[in-house]
Amino acid sequence: MTPAPLIETDRLTLRAPQQEDLPAYTSFYDVSDLKVGGYRGNRSADEVSAILDRDIAHWHDKGFGMFLLCDKASGAVLGGAGLCHPDDWPSHELTWWLLPQARGTGVATEASLAVIAWGYDDLGWRRVETHMRDENLPARKLALRLGGRLDRHETFPDGVTRDVFLLPRERLS
């Protein structure tokens, strides 16, 4: 397996997660306001550890996955963004999460654009999409900022119907 790449943007280094990142994952899941997108807050230590293990294994099993977003200046983890494809899901998707201090700073847009370009250019994918619940307004706004367009409404294996946005290679101005 090829090692996960490092992706550089103006402010960020995107890298694959490691076991040492457990505190960043724990900080994210300790935020109690996270109720949408499958990122339910207040998870147990075992649940958070299993999520990190899953994200690490995804890279080994599939050759792509979640990147951690690290501030170039401080090295601090600000969140995650990546291309994931759970085994029972109908397709891959761009997904992201941010620690509270990174929200509203443009980090999700910057990282997502880099990940989308990586999906098209390096992985050679013909489609990059994201899936979201109707009530996830921040995700919907980000998908639109990325130039996404509603492609379909689909019921997923977990029984939740989500909007699927197709994300272009380059954002329209």
pLDDT at position 115 over 60: yes
Residue 82 CA to residue 93 CA, distance in Å, equals 8
Q: What is the mean pLDDT of the chain?
A: 90
- Name all domains of the chain by residue range, CATH numbers in brackets: 7-124 (3.40.630.30)
Residue 15 CA to residue 103 CA, distance in Å, equals 19
Q: What is the pTM of this model?
A: 0.90
Contact yes or no for 102/42 (Cβ under 8 A): no
What are the backbone dihedrals phi and psi of residue 147, each rounded to the nearest 5 degrees, phi first? 90, 10
Residues 9-63 have pLDDT tens digits of 999 999 999 999 999 999 988 875 555 445 555 678 899 999 999 999 999 999 9
